[in-house]
Structure 1
Amino acid sequence: MHQPNYIILQCYGYEAVFLECAYALMSLSRLYKPEELTNTEIWVYTDKPEWFDRFADCPLPLHFRKMDAALIKQWRGDIDFVHRIKIELLLDFTETRTGNILYADTDMVFLQKLDDVWNGLAPGELYMHMQEGKISEKGNPLFRKLDTFLRSGKAIKTEGTPLYDLYMWNAGILGFHSSHRELLQKALEYTDSEHPKFPKHIIEQFAFSIQFGSKGNIKSALPYALHYWNMKELRQIIASFLQYFDGKPWADLVRYSSLLQPYILVTEKNMFLQNRSFTEKVLNKKWVPAMPNWELLEKQI
């Protein structure tokens, strides 16, 4: 018997996050026919499940777990850390379910079918979005600060490979089997212990990097999904898209959503940042994407 597959999304708070979530679901609908998802459930942890009522004809196997303000506060913990919520909701989900799990932040788009991922999770493979580099190589200012912290007397010490010689992985996407639930608990314990001493957002993803890496080779989810964490500008384009195509059936939204092309926008933004003049860098000139002409683009599909 095949293990059930679960896709989990965390969607609460700002309207922009809900727009991202809708786009992520559209990208999944582009890849799968409804009959291909009979062994899959999609769970959205959200404070406003009614927001999704506008997509009543969406054939995806959607389920919702309501998070009210009290639960969100509880899951932020005594350290009041927003990224702690991710670990808690995964512990909540795996408390009563067995199967293959793919967690994703809302700022992502599915690129290809997940069949190979599902087939690997039950035997023990672990996925994160992509490797960002070794801490001790100090590839960015945050890594330099974390490296200093991990070498100090304040940080947790470990036998074997020093923590500063581990690789940091982006935790916007996590793939694991529910039998690895103890890794979630250990990630929570590390976060609760170290975040008060090093109160930076990367502590949560480093906690997952440590625990998933302890089981061997972490596999990259990048071939299957793009986590566009540094492309918040896409939110306004998604908002414009849904406004223009408001009232269209889900099938049309899915078809037209291919016009968004976030991977091209990521490239454009990176090129802009790399080619800024010295003065533009000093003034921190921002990249502003061109708003698509939906009326013109609609004719191209």
Structure 2
Amino acid sequence: MNYLVYQSYGNKDILNECCYSILSLLKHGLNKKAVQVIIYTDQPGCFSFLPSEYIQFVVMDAITIEAYKGPHSFIHRLKIKVLEDCINRFDGNILYVDSDIYFLKPVDDLFTHITEHSFLMCNNEGAIHLKTNIVFDKFSVFIKKNKTYLEENTILIPQDVIMWNAGVIGFPSSKKKMIADVLNTNDIIFEKFRSHVVEQLSFSYQLQQNGMVQKSTDYVFHYWNFKEFRAILLEFFNHHRDKSSLETMIQDVDSIRPDLLIKPKMEYESLSFFRKNLRKLYGKNRWQLPAYTIGK
């Protein structure tokens, strides 16, 4: 069996993202005999409008959520613990996706890329030693300065380790030791280096140690850098939730495609510092959302 796994709890925006992600999944069709959706959540009622035959819930209470975050209350550690629990509950291919994933294609084919030595993550963000951003720079410095500490804990991260985006993680449920190693790597590093990407680097390193990592971007769009979309999702669900059928909601998914609405923001972000300041100088908006119509 193939399992598509989400964690979605607490914040209403995160719950809306997850609901929208599942709608985009259903838009392409889903073979319920081959793929089961698993949602780790504290609010299963938020998903009651979705077809129950496709979905199983693993309910997390507040105590479990806090325990999963660990002694330093690291929010992204929870993802590792969710997957640790998942592989002990379900037998088959596991495809974890963040709530802010929009499906571009049917998910079925994506599962075929998962084998004992072939794994999935979202996209290759580059080698951290190239220091393409301040986060990578700090991580690279940490690895260099703490080589002995890492080696004492059998974490042999090379200077040129590739960072993969962890918005998607695909692997067989048989890789229990690999996930245990991800958790250990995360905890050892986070003890000395409190960065929000420690969990992501831990997955990247251990999956590469165990096999080949492939990208998922032909199948999904990850809008992690588009928090402005949350207001649009709120508008979408306020419009549809109590008056529209599931079929109507699925048909309307593409009225607010995040991969299209984000384009002006990405174009602005790609401008040089000088050109950004010119826009400011002439009183122009940094960027503007394209027009969209919900429920047309």
TM norm structure 2: 0.90
Show the 5 A alignment for 1:183-262.
183-246=178-241, 247-262=243-258
Report how many aligned residue pairs link the two structures.
288
- Shift, 1:39, TM fit: 2.1
What amino acid is aligned across from residue 216 of structure 1 in structure 2?
Answer: G
**1:81 partnered with 2:77:** no
Mapped to 2, the partners of 1:197 and 1:59 lie a distance apart of 43
**1:271 partnered with 2:267:** yes
Q: For residues 281 and 81 of structure 1, do their structure 2 counterparts lie closer, same or farther at Cα, with a shift above 3 Å needed?
A: farther
**1:134 partnered with 2:127:** yes
Could you tell me which residue of structure 2 aligns to residue 25 of structure 1? 22
- Shift, 1:59, TM fit: 6.0
- Shift, 1:225, TM fit: 1.0
Mapped to 1, the partners of 2:286 and 2:66 lie a distance apart of 33
Could you tell me which residue of structure 1 aligns to residue 292 of structure 2? 292
Could you tell me which residue of structure 2 aligns to residue 156 of structure 1? 150
- Shift, 1:208, TM fit: 0.3
Mapped to 2, the partners of 1:207 and 1:172 lie a distance apart of 13
Query: Greater CA deviation, 149-158 or 138-147?
Result: 149-158
Mapped to 2, the partners of 1:288 and 1:93 lie a distance apart of 41
Task: Give the secondary-structure state (helix, strand or coil) at the position aligned to 1:63.
Answer: strand
Mapped to 2, the partners of 1:214 and 1:24 lie a distance apart of 30
- Shift, 1:290, TM fit: 5.0
Mapped to 1, the partners of 2:109 and 2:145 lie a distance apart of 41
The gaps in structure 1 that reach 5 residues or longer are none
For residues 202-247 of structure 1, give each alpha carbon's deviation from its aligned partner in whole angstroms, at most 9, with x where no partner exists: 1100000000001232100111111111011111111111222231
Cα RMSD after superposing both structures: 2.3
Task: Give the secondary-structure state (helix, strand or coil) at the position aligned to 1:65.
Answer: strand
For residues 265-296 of structure 1, give each alpha carbon's deviation from its aligned partner in whole angstroms, at most 9, with x where no partner exists: 232211122345226689xx86553563336x
For residues 139-198 of structure 1, give each alpha carbon's deviation from its aligned partner in whole angstroms, at most 9, with x where no partner exists: 101011111111003651399985221100000110000111211110100111111211
Q: For residues 137 and 192 of structure 1, do their structure 2 counterparts lie closer, same or farther at Cα, with a shift above 3 Å needed?
A: same
What amino acid is aligned across from residue 292 of structure 1 in structure 2?
Answer: Y
Q: For residues 279 and 149 of structure 1, do their structure 2 counterparts lie closer, same or farther at Cα, with a shift above 3 Å needed?
A: farther
Task: Give the secondary-structure state (helix, strand or coil) at the position aligned to 1:277.
Answer: helix
**1:109 partnered with 2:112:** no
Task: Give the secondary-structure state (helix, strand or coil) at the position aligned to 1:32.
Answer: coil
Q: For residues 190 and 49 of structure 1, do their structure 2 counterparts lie closer, same or farther at Cα, with a shift above 3 Å needed?
A: same
**1:67 partnered with 2:60:** yes
Indicate which of 163, 170, 188 corresponds to 1:175. 170
Mapped to 2, the partners of 1:189 and 1:162 lie a distance apart of 13
What amino acid is aligned across from residue 250 of structure 1 in structure 2?
Answer: L
Q: For residues 260 and 148 of structure 1, do their structure 2 counterparts lie closer, same or farther at Cα, with a shift above 3 Å needed?
A: same
The gaps in structure 2 that reach 5 residues or longer are none
Mapped to 2, the partners of 1:160 and 1:200 lie a distance apart of 17
Mapped to 2, the partners of 1:123 and 1:85 lie a distance apart of 24
TM norm structure 1: 0.89
Task: Give the secondary-structure state (helix, strand or coil) at the position aligned to 1:168.
Answer: strand
Mapped to 2, the partners of 1:226 and 1:103 lie a distance apart of 14
Q: For residues 195 and 31 of structure 1, do their structure 2 counterparts lie closer, same or farther at Cα, with a shift above 3 Å needed?
A: same
Could you tell me which residue of structure 2 aligns to residue 38 of structure 1? 33
- Shift, 1:95, TM fit: 1.2
- Shift, 1:118, TM fit: 1.9
- Shift, 1:86, TM fit: 0.4
- Shift, 1:262, TM fit: 1.0
What amino acid is aligned across from residue 8 of structure 1 in structure 2?
Answer: V
